[in-house]
Each structure stands twice: as C-alpha cells, then as structure tokens.
A and B are shown apart, each in its own frame.
Chain A
Amino acid sequence: MSLVFAGVCSHGPGITGRRAMAASDDADSLYAAMDGMRQALEASRPDALVVIAAEHFANFFMDNMPAYCIGMGEEYEGPIENPQWLGIQRTQVPGAPDLSRRIIEHTLQEVDVAYAQEWKFDHGIMVPLHFLTPRYDLPVIPVNINCQGPPITPLHRAWAFGKALRKACDAVRERIAIVGTGGISHWPATPDSGKINEPWDRDFLQRWASNDRSRLLAYTDEQTYFEAGQGGFEIRTFIAVSGATEGCTATVHYYRPIPIFAVGCTVGIVSLEGQI
C-alpha cells in the first residue's frame, strides 16, 4: 500500500502533566485540535502508526547514540516517566515487528539506521499516543532522531531519512500513517522553560506547510540554538515528515504558544490527495 496519513504535533510533557496549570482555553483548544487529528488519523484507516520522535534520554545515551533508530519490538511500555508527573498511566503499546523489519530493510537501502527490539516510550511518544490512539490499539513503530545529544544529524539527512522511510512505506502492503512530533522553538527543562519565539515558529511552519525543501534545510544548528533554543533541534522530526511527503503541501490546523506547556503547541496535517 502506501502512506495514508502524515502529520505533525507537539509532545511537551506539560501538555498532559501540567494541564491544571494552564488557562482553560489554551488546554481545551489544544486538546480539541489533537482530537481532530485523531479523527483524521482514524479516517485514514491505518494498519500501523510510525511515530517519528525525538526522545529525551529514555533509551539512548551518549554511550551509544544512534542518529536514527527504528523500533522492531512486539510491544513497548510507556511512559518511562512517573505516570503522575506526566499525567498518563503506564501501559503496553502494541508493536508490529514483522512490518517494522520490512520497513527497516527497505529504509536501509537508502540510509543507515539502527534498530531496537526494546524501547521504553517517554513523553515524546506517549503524549501524542495519549491523544491519537487513546485505546492503544493501533500498532506503533517508533522512530527516533537524535535531537538531544550533539553531534546530531544534519537537516538534509533528516529529509533523506524521511524520503527513504516513504519509499519503505510504499513497498509494504500495509496502510501506514506517519506522525512527526517535536517542538519548534523552545527551551525545555531549563530556567528559560516557557520562552517561545513565536515569529520563528510561524516562519518555520510556513516553510513546513509549503514543503519548501530549500528553506527548511537552510537553518544552521547554531542559528537554531540561539533563536529557537536547544528544543529547536527537534525540527528534524517535522523535516523528516516533509521528506516523506515531498511535493505535498500541509495545513497547520493549530498553533498557539502556551508557556506552561513550554512550547508553541502545533497540529499539522499533510495533504496526501493524489498520492494515495
């Protein structure tokens, strides 16, 4: 089959863990947007959901840090964090090991990736799943791009990875959904938590929605760090989705800076018409 859904969303742990500290309209509107994304995802009738995430030292550390890793487990557990802290109960999430293996094999034709048969989901995956697959009944294939511990993969490689992943999706019989999840500008878990560069975010989202490869890849990490914080490195997850949907425009259904959630909260869906 092919790709039947592609989108992006935020994953900040405060979205669920600090909901009570947020203005009700901020939380309610974001939650409604995430539910809209869930409905669109379900309408695409996927057999599996690939989540391109930027995990935060839950599974991968600087003793052996892969630039890219794809899960190949039968099941996954999450969240690794304290469930009360995150506001999400610990649960088992089904994997799709056979499908994962085929996707990894196809992806390896184009780019080098690591694989993992064990994976504990942190908020980077659990927050999206909490909204998008609340019954945890859709098989998930986790993907990680190291966005935390430099040196990190160049942006053009994130695009190439997305393209390779798309070719892999096209080569399998199952219906595949892809969700990229990351922050745009943010300074998470630092004294500047809550700072958001809204103009930078909106400019990035315009580039993302128009699938503008040259402008998406034009950032340097130094520039991103100073203008968008260390959390800005997570744009790689959005760029990978753009690479996977090259030539397709997208719609940003929701964007709102919510400081207590430490990020400009975002929901975007790619228009795949004509490609499915």
Chain B
Amino acid sequence: MSLYYLQKLLYQLNRDPRLQQQFFADKASVLAAYKLDDQEVEAVEKPDIGMLYILGVNGQILMHYAAMCGYAWPEYIQAMRDALAVHGNVRAGLYVTTDGKGAV
C-alpha cells in the first residue's frame, strides 16, 4: 500500500490544470512520478472510483477526481457503496476504523 502517494497524486491533479492535461493525454507519464503499486495504478487509470475509496483515499480528495472523470454526484456516492458491497472494508486511511462504512 502507498496511500500517501496515491492521495498526493490525486491532490496534485485536483489543483493543477496543466497536470490534468498531461494526465489525460498520457497517464503513464504522470503515474511514473509516484510510488504506486499495480492495484493503485489500475484504479487510477480505469478509473475505479469505488476501489480508490476502498484503498483509503479521503473523500475530500476523491470526490474531485471523480468529478474530473465525469461522475455526477449520485454516481460518485453509488460507486463507493457498490465497492463496499463487493470488496468489503476500507483498507487504510481515515475511514478504516469504522468498519469500512465511514460511519457508525
């Protein structure tokens, strides 16, 4: 797991339009700069918003990447709910302590 770098990539994408342009033109060239494992790379490239949530990406970072990838708000919420049903608990980060549901 390299949640720190996964979140850093999305944080920098969210705030840098030029990096966004480069990313959507050539994802590999951007991803190469971050220490990500294969599962993380796949989830970002696809994009698999639900899996990114399961991997522990903070929603305050993830919701902007989802919007950047064309997810409407209800689709974004549903993607995380679907991923919880398929994959189970969130595996790292702030939400892991609530049994993967982000709430009591």
Contact = CB atoms under 8 A, between A and B. Distances in A.
Contacts of B97: 225
Contacts of A148: 58, 60
B14 A192 contact: no
Contact of A193 (B4, B11, B64, B77): B77
B94 A150 contact: yes
A190 B67 contact: no
Interface string A191-235: 111010000000000000000000000000000011101100000
A188 interface: yes
B25 to A, nearest CB: 19
A53 to B, nearest CB: 13
Interface in A14-65: 14, 17-18, 21, 56-59, 61-63
B13 to A, nearest CB: 11
Interface string B61-86: 11110011000010001001100100
A156 interface: no
A189 B63 contact: yes
Given A225-B97, A226-B104, A227-B104, A189 B11 contact: no
A189 B67 contact: no
A189 B61 CA distance: 9
A189 B15 contact: no
B87 interface: no
Given A80-B14, A82-B67, A192 B8 contact: no
A174 interface: no
B98 interface: yes
Contact of B103 (A120, A149, A192): A192
B8 A190 contact: no
A187 interface: yes
Chain B contact residues, majority secondary structure: helix
B27 interface: no
Nearest to A187: B103
Nearest to B81: A191
Contacts of B15: 58-59, 80, 120
Of B53, B67, B68, B103, chain A has the most CB atoms within 10 Å of the CB of B103
Of B15, B60, B63, B95, chain A has the most CB atoms within 10 Å of the CB of B60
Contact of A191 (B7, B64, B84, B94): B84
B102 interface: yes
Given A18-B73, A82-B67, A85-B67, A191 B101 contact: yes
Interface in B1-42: 4, 7-8, 11, 14-15
B86 to A, nearest CB: 13
A148 B60 CA distance: 8
Nearest to B64: A81
Contact of A61 (B8, B62, B63, B68): B8
Nearest to B100: A191
Interface of A: 14, 17-18, 21, 56-59, 61-63, 80-82, 85, 120, 148-150, 187-193, 195, 225-227, 229-230
30 contacts: A17-B73, A56-B61, A57-B60, A58-B14, A59-B15, A62-B7, A62-B8, A81-B14, A82-B68, A148-B58, A149-B58, A150-B94, A187-B103, A189-B58, A189-B60, A189-B62, A190-B53, A190-B80, A191-B81, A192-B103, A193-B59, A193-B77, A195-B103, A225-B98, A226-B98, A226-B104, A227-B104, A229-B103, A230-B95, A230-B102
